[in-house]
Chains A and B, each alone.
Chain A
Amino acid sequence: MATSEEQPPTTQPFTLEDPLDLIRLSLDERIYVKLRNNRELRGRLHAYDQHLNMILGDVEEVRTQIEVDEETMEEIFKTQKRNFPMLYVRGDGIILMSPPEKPTY
């Protein structure tokens, strides 16, 4: 028999039924979260609920502002960063979330 991935004894059946299941897979992983008002977070997901309230650890927040140079009409992107060891984020500010863009492996 050709070698393929071994099926470990399953304690939790892997069924992907709703989007929240996908989030469950990200627990204890670093994730990227896009928020309203041009804010982005990168941190380790420790908890979430059905409202997408979350607790993230080791978080970096990036705020982006676009300024237009009046003379050249050039768009200048300015960012501000903040770091938090542990952060509760209210779900109603969240637009999207996904694994971080730059994998750590």
Chain B
Amino acid sequence: MPLFHTFFKTLVGKEMTIELKNNLLIHGTLISVDQFLNIKLDKISVPDPDKYPQFLSIKNCFVRGSVIRYIHLPPSEVDPTSLQEATRKEAMQSKMQQ
């Protein structure tokens, strides 16, 4: 059922960039994700460290799912065909449950 939760679990250990709704960009390695799509990243970096001195003190962080606008994903780690199949499957499953 939780399609995106399962999908992100396959990306643990991969690098990605999270774009927050406040326009902040955080690059890091995915450590874990929960059912709310809250995300924990390791080895984080921000594009303009001098503008955001706060981030110099932290190496890993938890990001609340609801503040995320986009996640820029590494295309090599994503298989569009299996994503589409999984989406269709989940859509059919939730229809049958109604």
Is the A/B pair a real complex?
yes
- A: residues with CB less than 8 A from B are 12, 17, 20-21, 24, 27-28, 44, 46-50, 53, 55, 57, 84-90, 92-93
- Contacting A at CB under 8 A, from B59-78, are 65-66, 68-75, 78
A-B contact pairs, 15 of them (CB 8 A): A20-B91, A21-B95, A27-B87, A27-B88, A46-B80, A47-B4, A47-B84, A47-B86, A49-B4, A49-B90, A53-B37, A87-B73, A90-B37, A90-B65, A90-B66
> How far in angstroms is the closest Cβ of chain A from B19?
9
- Give chain B's interface residue range (CB within 8 Å of chain A): 20 to 34
B69 touches A90 (CB 8 A): yes
B73 touches A46 (CB 8 A): no
> How far in angstroms is the closest Cβ of chain A from B79?
9
Chain B residue numbers with a CB within 8 Å of A87 are 70-73
Interface residue SS majority, chain B? helix
- Contacting A at CB under 8 A, from B39-98, are 65-66, 68-75, 78, 80, 83-84, 86-88, 90-92, 94-95
Name B74's contact: one of A46, A50, A86 (CB within 8 Å): A86
CA distance A27 to B72 in the complex (A): 20
> How far in angstroms is the closest Cβ of chain B from A45?
8
Question: Contacts A44-B80, A49-B4; is A88 near B73 (CB within 8 Å)?
Answer: yes
A55 touches B37 (CB 8 A): no
Chain B residue numbers with a CB within 8 Å of A27 are 84, 87-88
Smallest CB-CB separation from A44: which chain B residue? B80
CA distance A49 to B91 in the complex (A): 8
Smallest CB-CB separation from B94: which chain A residue? A50
